[in-house]
Structure 1
């Protein structure tokens, strides 16, 4: 279809315009089904033209959530402090600080806060009156960027008519003041105030953020990845850029045995069993039984879990977890060896480290240097064939694999990752991806051939990887293609040229078994060395056809070490790295508890968060995440929908509707009533 400008009928002669219409006659005939006459076409054109002149809706960027559900939920509910700022703007001079905190807490956690209010407030009717009016004022403010139609679609059905009436109350309409007051009073008198408050608080949360971007790593470390995925699966406007921790869970769900082993190993390493057991009902009894038998006389001291959070396991539980942890680590290293030998095109045979071990001496050779193993008790390893599984390990692997495959909730969450996720995204002049774009030392895109085909780089590489990931779950794909695709999840997890990793190696084995920390070093790929350069970032964005006066790359993956003075804003503002360490495991390293990025109609704001205490404290004490805001970039004017990707889509729709209007007026297509 030919793109048409807003002033097409002016720019083209009547003859040329008619030719354009005739070329698109089949499409226009289909469009006529939705807009069967001139009246409906002109109404839609007027509506779309008006939308172009609304302020740009707010976008919210988060990365590297790592299972920290409570912190994630709080940041989502308070829109990275956006709701708190609205309350301050609207009521800053008329409400006490404590009352403003209580109002914010009510918006974030309406059900729980109302229960507390009813326990302590003796003047409930006065509370309801004041609160309802304040909530309506806030809701009117956050809905002002949207059309009535869009707001209407977001309204809870039960109160849709009432909320719509109250949102469009005019202070000048004195004749209706009594009408509006009666609505509020009747809500209270009919004992529906609680339900109405909950509905309007949830509506405020929804309207405060129009679009949510998750830049990968939802899984691992923290205990609530499954709860985060429940929220994301139901979110109204979302896109996800896969991270390496998401990919390894997708691989496990798709039947990749080594991905499954790694997922279990990491969960045991951090003492985080909630996602596996409570979230996805993975049966770990066979693993516990196997570990107790195989490592009965081994204290597995090196594998003691690094338990985080307030709920700590008992000593007996820690001992069992240590044995299970070692069992899965050994199983992972065996399966890794098999994977690398099966895929020589990856050029990762040097990572088949069990083949470099001398189990009689208790040593391993890495890069020509012999190192002593810190643990040499491997009852399940055959020194002559260390990569082979025992019969018991093979049976255990298949039982665990089946458990992952039949987990309905896990498969549903992976379906969400596939339907709403991708390797990269370009939205409103921002290039989003989790980790890196493979590059060489000279700053050029690196050609990568790990899929057994033509070497690819940049966008072509990302899109081919995206297709391969989907092939693993495609029922129509040939089994050989699906098998290769399933294996490839492991390369994406730890391959040197994987855009989700891009380091020389993942030194898991070395960290477990070798004292010499020089062997632990993971050399970052060229992208991480070059990304501070504005010219390099511009080159990458050019390769991905990112256009616009204010364009950026937005990443996660590598935590920003704020405590060491590192800045998340790089390359003269062209690159923003928003992994500040959401996971508790990273707090000591980064010195903070994560970043979120907010892009509203006036520009970008980077929000730096301090550690979140707990949801219960937020509700009972009104505590909020302590956040500091850094203005990254102001556009110099208020950005409108017309300047966004959505605006370009709308202009294209208007152009096609103008063609249809011409066709109706000239009798080329007949109107229908």
Structure 2
């Protein structure tokens, strides 16, 4: 009782009177009866900044849906497309449109018509929010004007002249372009309330740094870390082996400029070492993968890329050895491969089978101690680790991922996790020994998250390896929820032609997630209602052109990795899935490849999207039914207790009267 009274007295500081308390209860009860706001789910962006930006700007087709709903047959399809493109890319589209008009009267008329339509769209998308929330989203420069236009009363004509004068003044003062841009950005802001990024911002594509910058400007976003994100997080935290993996992947996809130009990390010492150490004739397996739509590098550059690719790959394999040896609980001894090579014969023996190596150039490996770095390699690794830790831009981006991300998220009945929940063949959750304690299921993911956070926060401390080794394990270990396979056959893919050695067996989760019973068991593990919840995965591209369905277990699980990355699109047959969850239910959206921003603006070519209903609500979902609603209900209960205390005399009101000032 004493603790309860103490809490109520603290609450009374914010609500000092019966009037203030009842007003807030009425306000919160009203908010809980608003429609649930729209959530937008994306995953596996893999550095494809332009395609991601377009999906973000168009709300996965949500803006065009609103335009169709508002204007119906009042506008032709061409006019709707033009309006949608204007909302996506206002500044660029305005310049293009105005260049086509010859007179000022034509331009002014276009502004009047466009502003009228934008106001109509904005009123519609703002209608599910309180005035207070909309007000907070308004751009400072035009906040008062937009608020007046959004909440005007169309029933009475008393203020028509007032509203018309606002529009005329905007145009006559040459603020039309700025106002159209502000309105367009506001529509983008209001059409989606919450963005969920279900992993893998980094690797393969050219601009992950720009994607993180975009997310940092977003009004409401959460991130579930992916396996490729974990590599960069480990590298920024000081893990040498994660750092080597990051550089290897950038070299493989010809994106080393991300490191040098995006993050200011110089690779000059590594370039010089690779050029002087490795031959150009024996490393064809390290040729980089070049995007056919990009200009092909000069032959000399290709040779340099190939050399640095091989040099960092060997360094990576050497760095993996000591980690595996000091962690027998990782059960990864089978990944110690450098000591299985016969360097004289140029062969390797795996599981009793001997294979010829396609590349027998190992100038830095001592067959007696193959995992020992050479003095030059040690110096390179030490310098690169410091460069990653001292890159202000990288540290800023990874700090953002740490503070706004997690291994998984439970939100509005749904479980968001990038990869999987590791399972045994019998369907039980796979256990792992973490510092002497066997853990599985939700607890295992919590332990992984703890290691990631401490690995980054403790990067200046000694003995940080116990956390960073586990971060690397998340990239490649058999019980990792982000990897989800028994092994990563990187060495075999480089050095052995026989594809039987390239097999990476997926965790049984990927079979069992098709079963309703398994999905319900996982949802219950995370304290979610199995009858309402969904599991939302990324990580494994859905091979739609081979007939794979992204909706599994009768709708209990949805996979939204459809291939943002160009490297996957030949296999998947499309360019990504996204998911929308609004008050009416869930809609899965599949996208065709994005061409370019230029084409989107000039030709008004949107990404062709196909919408598919996953789960339709029998009754329209309200804020009351969400996680936010639960918090509001708790606050209402507290306020009602405070109200009772006021009326019962347990707490006295603090009534402050305004003093009168006489001149």
TM-score range (shorter-chain normalised) is over 0.9
Q: Contact 1:611–1:625 at 8 Å: present in 2 too?
A: yes
- What are the within-5 Å matches in structure 2 for residues 508-523 of structure 1? 508-523=490-505
Alignment partner, residue 566 of structure 2: 584
1:477 Cα offset (Å)? 9.4
TM-score by length of 1: 0.95
Higher deviation after alignment, 429-438 or 335-344: 335-344
Tell me what 1:26 maps to: 6
Specify the alignment match of 2:240 in structure 1: 257
Which residue, out of 315, 319, 323, partners 1:331?
315
Q: Residue in 2 aligned with 1:73?
A: 53
The verdict on how the C-alpha distance between 1:651 and 1:166 changes in structure 2, with shifts beyond 3 A counting, is: same
CA contact (8 A) 1:299 1:319 kept: no
Q: Which moved more, 1:45-54 or 1:289-298?
A: 289-298
2:624 paired with 1:642: yes
Q: Partner of 1:175 in structure 2?
A: 158
Which 5+ residue runs of structure 2 have no aligned equivalent?
657-663
Check conservation: 2:199, 2:224, Cα contact below 8 A: yes
1:474 Cα offset (Å) = 2.4
Q: Which residue of 2 aligns with 1:357?
A: 341
Q: Does 1:36 align with 2:19?
A: no
Residues 1:573 and 2:550 are matched in the alignment: no
Q: Partner of 1:111: helix, strand, or coil?
A: helix
Quick check: 1:310 aligned with 2:290?
Answer: no
Matched, 1:602 2:584: yes
1:228-239 equivalences under 5 Å are 228-239=211-222
3-state SS, counterpart of residue 432 of structure 2 = coil
Report the counterpart of residue 438 of structure 1 in structure 2: 422
Residues 119-130 of structure 1 mapped to structure 2, 5 A cutoff: 119-122=99-102, 123-130=106-113
Which has the larger displacement, 293-302 or 660-669? 293-302
- 1:108 maps to what in 2? 88
The Cα shift of 1:23 comes to 4.4
Deviation string, structure 1 residues 241-275 (Cα, Å, up to 9, x no partner): 11100001100100100110011001111112232
What's the secondary structure of 1:598's corresponding residue?
strand
Measure how far apart 1:298 and its partner are: 4.0
1:90 matched to 2:85? The reply is no
Q: Tell me the matched-pair count.
A: 651
Unmatched 5+ residue regions in structure 1? 1-18
Partner in structure 1 of residue 536 of structure 2: 554
Going from structure 1 to structure 2, the CA distance change for 1:576 and 1:199 (only over 3 Å counts) comes to: same
* Cα displacement (A) at 1:478: 6.3
Runs (4+) of structure 1 exceeding 3 A deviation are: 296-299, 475-479
Alpha-carbon distance between aligned partners in 1 of 2:331 and 2:554, rounded to the nearest angstrom:
36
CA deviation after TM superposition for structure 1 residue 289, in Å: 0.8
Question: Quick one: distance in 2 between partners of 1:446 and 1:421?
Answer: 24
* TM-score scaled by length of structure 2: 0.96
3-state SS, counterpart of residue 630 of structure 1: strand
Corresponding residue for residue 14 of structure 1:
none
Work out the CA distance in 1 between the residues paired with 2:336 and 2:219: 44
CA distance in 1, matches of 2:280, 2:28: 73
Partner SS, residue 122 of structure 2: helix
**Which string of whole-angstrom CA distances, capped at 9 and with x for unpartnered residues, describes residues 429-487 of structure 1?**
101101111111111122221x222111111111111111111122499633x321012
What is the CA RMSD across the aligned residues, in angstroms?
1.3
Partners of 1:114 and 1:286 lie apart in 2 by 47
Contact 2:230/2:474 (8 A) holds in 1? yes
Deviation at 1:194, TM superposition (A): 1.0
1:452 and 1:23, CA in 2 relative to 1: closer, same or farther beyond 3 A?
closer
What is the rounded CA distance, in whole Å, between the counterparts of 1:358 and 1:635 in structure 2? Answer: 63
**Match status 1:341 vs 2:321:** no
Q: How does 1:168-317 map to 2 (within 5 A)?
A: 168-296=151-279, 298=281, 300-308=283-291, 309-317=293-301
Q: Which moved more, 1:660-669 or 1:619-628?
A: 660-669
